[in-house]
Structure formats: C-alpha cells, structure tokens
C-alpha cells in the first residue's frame, strides 16, 4: 500500500501561523496586518485552489505589499494645509494668476510629454480618469506592481519638472 499523502494544510492555518511568528518577532504593525489582509483578499478572489503553496503566497504577498507601501510613502510627501503658512498657500488670488496658470499647464504638458508612453498612460488614467491601479493593470495587461512602479516614476518626474512652480 502506498504511503498516505500528507494532508494539505488550509490557508487559514498558515495565516494564523504567520501572524503568530511575526508577533513573536515583534514585527506586527497595523501596516503588516493590513498587508496580510490584502494578500488574503487577493488570494480568495483569485481562488485558493489555484495556489500551490498558500504559506509562501501569503508571506511573499505581504512582503511585496509592505515594500510597495513603503516606496509609495517615501516617494510622496504630504503636508496638511493647516500645517502650512499662508505664504505657502495664500487665501487671496494674485493678479498674475492667469499667466502663472498657463505657465503651469505648459510645464505639466511638457513634463508629461517627456515621460515614456506607459508611464504617461498610467499617470493619465490614474490622475485624470480616476481609475484605480488594479483597473489600470487590467486594462493595460500589466501587473498591479508594474502600474505602481510606473506611477511612482511618473510622480517623481513630474514633481522634479514642476519644482520651479512650487512656492519658495
């Protein structure tokens, strides 16, 4: 009689095992738990049966999401308007606002034209058409990770080109 096959552990077992392991190491933060939840949602939406090794899938998925969030957070700096001086965002509109607006639009168009085609398409679909990264990935036949990379590259490029228009 052939040896009995090892029973395949359920994804939920691996989920609990990974969280316990990360908690013991003191590495569980709200971001890590969110990344794990996002990974599990993606796994369940895609069909758990198609995944050969759920533990490896969840571990890698969580790691990838944390790296992606870190890159996004470090690429973009946000400031609350309440934290800024009025000089940085004046309440009154300057007299030469129309001219400055036209220069701003021209600079943005030039910066967009300098981008590689896929970066430009991703930026426009996300920022102007309001599509999510997942929707863009699906419509362009790319991975979500690649869309995020194109978006990060586009934002950095545009920020660099538009620096002259920022208040000093």
- How far are the Cα atoms of 59, 84, 117 from residue 147, in angstroms, in the given order? 22, 31, 13
8 in any annotated domain: no
Please list, in sequence order, all residues whose beta carbon lies within 8 angstroms of the beta carbon of residue 157, skipping any fewer than 6 positions away: 111, 114, 115, 119
* In-domain check, residue 155: yes
As a whole number, the mean pLDDT across the chain is 78
Does residue 112 form part of some domain?
yes
The CATH number linked to 114 is: 1.10.10.10
Is residue 23 assigned to a domain?
no
Establish if 158 belongs to a structural domain.
Answer: yes
Contacts for 28-31: CB closer than 8 Å, 24+ residues apart = 31/66, 31/69
Count the domains in the chain: 1
Q: How far from each other are the two terminal CA atoms of the chain, in whole angstroms?
A: 80
pLDDT digits (tens, 9 = 90+) for 63-113: 788 788 777 767 656 667 677 776 666 665 665 667 877 888 899 899 999
Q: Is 0.95 surpassed by the pTM of this model?
A: no
Contact 148, 133 (CB under 8 A): yes
Residue, of 162 and 3, whose pLDDT is higher: 162
> Quick check: is 147 in a domain?
yes
């Amino acid at each position: 009689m052939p040896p009995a096959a090892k029973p395949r552990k359920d994804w939920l077992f691996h989920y609990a095992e990974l969280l316990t392991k990360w908690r013991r190491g003191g590495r569980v933060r709200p971001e890590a738990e969110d990344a794990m939840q996002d990974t599990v949602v993606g796994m369940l939406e895609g069909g758990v049966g198609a995944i050969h090794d759920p533990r490896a899938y969840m571990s890698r998925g969580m790691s990838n999401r944390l790296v992606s969030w870190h890159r996004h957070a470090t690429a973009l700096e946000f400031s609350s308007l309440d934290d800024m001086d009025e000089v940085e965002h004046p309440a009154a509109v300057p007299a030469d606002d129309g001219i400055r607006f036209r220069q701003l639009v021209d600079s943005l168009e030039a910066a967009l034209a300098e981008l590689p085609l896929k970066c430009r398409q991703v930026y426009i679909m996300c920022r102007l058409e309001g599509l999510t990264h997942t929707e863009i990935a699906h419509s362009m036949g790319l991975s979500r990770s690649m869309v995020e990379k194109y978006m990060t590259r586009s934002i950095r490029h545009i920020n660099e080109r538009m620096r002259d228009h920022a208040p000093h």
